[in-house]
A and B are shown apart, each in its own frame.
Chain A
Amino acid sequence: MSELTLVEAINDALHVEFARDPNVLVMGEDVGRVGGVFRATAGLRESFGVDRCVDTPLAEAGILGTAVGLCMAGWRPVCEMQYDAFSYPCLDQLINHVGRYRWRSGGKMEFPLTIRMPYGGGVRAPELHDDSPEAYYVHTPGVKVAIPATPADAKGLLAAAIRDPDPVVVLEPKLHYRTLRGSVPDGEHVVPLGRARVAREGSDVTVVAYGAMVPLAERAAGALGSEASVEVLDLRTLKPLDEDALLASVAKTGRAVVVQEAPRTCGYAAEVAAILAEKAILDLHGPVLRVTGYDVPYPYWKLEDAYMPSVERVVDAVRKLLAF
């Protein structure tokens, strides 16, 4: 075990997977010479050569489009999108091809590519460095989506994504790249896709969260103290979702608050709420509540604390639900 920050854990995963599989390469903007603007890919070029850590032209659709061709040539590309909102041009390739090509080939051709990107707000950055775009990705058929909340999961989920035979998008909470430190297993470490994690056990209410909202949910649970016994469920993978873990937790607590940083409408929390309505209605003592960003563009940063889900808003939702 090593004590690593979240971004160091990502860097560790890449080094381990590069050494394990010579078909893995990293491509993206500024990933080579400088090792990525967050240093997630630092050292790869020195250890594994320029061909496997490629500084590409500044073109996100071109990055993902050429990655499709690289897959056809037997590579397992890991594409870095420099920021969440900079990934939108790559949706062209993602929707038209990445999510469809296996199906289009009758399941005969694999596209084992990984797209990783920092996501989320709270970092006092300029516009379009703060988005939570997970719903676009989750909504795309043929694509899996993982979002780690801890350094150990950042390593393990990225390793799982790289080894997966299908395209996986990994969204990394940039707020916690350097502010969250934790124990990370040395060497090969894989966290299977599709398995949630109980981050904190409780019996009165389940707070469902992922990524940067998990530590927030844990803080809210702590703030509630003896007022409520809060279980925090870290989904870890949005697609495929660990429905068993979700339903088991809610069967135990009978109450659910879902927290997401993204705008509310058609966000992932709505999907969680719908699943609970379909499959857990008799377990529920009250409505499923959502704590989300608002249906507005992500604000300039003097306003971002008002936009972001806060400990206070999660606490408020839990209290409302307990009083229902």
Chain B
Amino acid sequence: MTETLPVERDLRRVIGDGDTQPDGEVDGLDDADLVELFRQLVLMRTYDERSLVYHRQGRIGTYAIFWNHEAMQVGVVCALEDDDWIFPSYRESAIGLLRGMPADTILSWWRGHPAGWWNPADYNVASICVPIGTHVPHAVGLAWGKKLRGEPTCAVAFFGDGATSEGSFHEGANFAGVMKAPVILFCNNNQWAISTPLEDQTAAETLADKAIGYGMPAVRLDGADVLAVYEATRDAVAQARAGDGPTFIEAVTYRAAPHATADDPRLYIDPDRVEEERQRECVGRFEGYLRRRELLDDDLAATIRDEAAQVMRDAIAKAEAEPDPDPELLFSAAFADPPRSFDHDLAELRRILAGE
């Protein structure tokens, strides 16, 4: 029986502050892996920052910013095998980049274009879940279903602090515990659900406490520490593959950017607290770690940033070059064998669109 009590209160950290807090080390990552982690962090950061610009330029629609959430996404995916499944919320919209998904696919999704469709099985990345927490049972079902087939696959569901108030989270977590599903419930606790702070979301001392009720162990860590995320996920994956069931990971950070492009956090958030968080943001912290270990210098950092910028320039050009979608796509994807009424609807629509 896995020990589930008590939930730890301290946040796990690996990366030091370059001053009084020393750097730690994690097993399983060599120097090249560490530099690759940085490359991925920079790619994600660049995707996010460029997307905000593209939104302001009117080149993509409403966009959910994930600035300073990159370490959670990169650290988790690094600890998975390619066969393991990822169930993202909109906060992890670009996580497919870490599985080889083209950036223009994701930009197309935010452009509301069907070129943003992907087959989840191509990347083992589920579609972006827009309603809050409703994908938690999907991840649990996938993990349970793979286990029933005798496959060693795990699944990870990403969700925010607000999602822990949703019934879907609780039902999914309960199924995960009962079925001993090889799943990781990864809570990105950035302490804000749009304008609602954590204290209005829950009376629990920590979100990790909720795991106790579902018979699963929980870990709390610094969500801006990519190595702490990696280490905890790696251990949770090992436990899941060993047949010991799910783990809840509460990654604590602070939302240092608006919820989305349509949000104005000046109405509710303390700007000093945001500034403090921006000073300890996750990409810079890991860059400091690598420089202290002399794995990164100015030239390499610049090369990595230039490569990421080029990826985004190419991606937005490709996304914008997509022709307007044919109205046929309205009808063709909803059913394997669309009803005959769709033929009639499409023919009539084409006639009217043609001005006949």
Q: Do A and B come from one complex?
A: yes
Interface string of B145-171 (1 = CB under 8 A from A): 110110001010000000000011001
A153–B95 Cα gap in the complex (Å)? 46
- Scoring A70, A101, A243 by chain B CB atoms within 10 A of each residue's CB, the highest score goes to A70
Q: Please report the total number of A residues contacting B with Cβ < 8 Å.
A: 44
Are A105's CB and B118's CB within 8 A? yes
B85 at the interface (CB under 8 A from A): yes
Write the chain B residue with the least CB distance to A112. B336
A205 at the interface (CB under 8 A from B): no
Write the chain B residue with the least CB distance to A65. B137
Are B146's CB and A73's CB within 8 A? yes
Q: CB-CB < 8 A to A56: which residues of B? A: 175, 178
Q: Please report the total number of B residues contacting A with Cβ < 8 Å.
A: 44
Are B142's CB and A69's CB within 8 A? yes
Q: CB-CB < 8 A to A252: which residues of B? A: none
Write the chain B residue with the least CB distance to A239. B339
B196 at the interface (CB under 8 A from A): no
A68–B136 Cα gap in the complex (Å)? 11
Q: CB-CB < 8 A to A198: which residues of B? A: none
A202 at the interface (CB under 8 A from B): no
Chain B binding surface, main DSSP class: helix
Q: CB-CB < 8 A to B148: which residues of A? A: 25, 51, 73, 75
Are A62's CB and B172's CB within 8 A? yes
Q: CB-CB < 8 A to B168: which residues of A? A: 61-62, 65, 92-93
- In the assembled complex, the CB of A200 is this many whole angstroms from the nearest CB of chain B, namely 26
B121 at the interface (CB under 8 A from A): yes
A67–B179 Cα gap in the complex (Å)? 13
Write the chain B residue with the least CB distance to A61. B171
Write the chain A residue with the least CB distance to B183. A69
Q: CB-CB < 8 A to B85: which residues of A? A: 72
B334 at the interface (CB under 8 A from A): yes
A133 at the interface (CB under 8 A from B): no
Interface string of A228-253 (1 = CB under 8 A from B): 00000000000110010000000000
Are B335's CB and A142's CB within 8 A? yes
A286 at the interface (CB under 8 A from B): no
Q: CB-CB < 8 A to B175: which residues of A? A: 56-57, 59, 62, 66
B355 at the interface (CB under 8 A from A): no
B14 at the interface (CB under 8 A from A): no
Write the chain B residue with the least CB distance to A111. B336
A194–B341 Cα gap in the complex (Å)? 12
Q: CB-CB < 8 A to A61: which residues of B? A: 137, 167-168, 171
Are B333's CB and A66's CB within 8 A? no
- In the assembled complex, the CB of B144 is this many whole angstroms from the nearest CB of chain A, namely 6
Interface string of B118-148 (1 = CB under 8 A from A): 1111000011000100111111111111101
Tell me which of B114, B143, B336 contacts A106 (CB under 8 A): B114
Are A106's CB and B117's CB within 8 A? yes
Q: Which of A67-120 contact B (CB under 8 A)?
A: 67-75, 89, 92-93, 96-97, 101-110
Are B120's CB and A109's CB within 8 A? yes
Write the chain A residue with the least CB distance to B155. A69
Are B142's CB and A72's CB within 8 A? yes
Q: CB-CB < 8 A to B134: which residues of A? A: 65, 92-93, 96-97
B174 at the interface (CB under 8 A from A): yes
Write the chain A residue with the least CB distance to B115. A106
- Scoring A71, A74, A144 by chain B CB atoms within 10 A of each residue's CB, the highest score goes to A74
Q: CB-CB < 8 A to A297: which residues of B? A: none
Known: A72-B138, A165-B336. 16 other contacts (CB 8 A): A57-B174, A61-B167, A61-B171, A65-B141, A65-B171, A65-B172, A68-B141, A69-B144, A70-B145, A73-B145, A92-B168, A96-B134, A102-B336, A165-B337, A166-B337, A240-B341
Q: Write 12 A-B pairs (CB below 8 A) sorted by A numbering.
A: A57-B178, A62-B175, A65-B141, A69-B142, A72-B121, A73-B144, A73-B148, A97-B135, A106-B117, A106-B333, A142-B335, A240-B339
Name B residues whose Cβ lies closer than 8 Å to a Cβ of A.
85, 114, 117-121, 126-127, 131, 134-146, 148-149, 153, 155, 167-168, 171-172, 174-175, 178-179, 332-337, 339-341
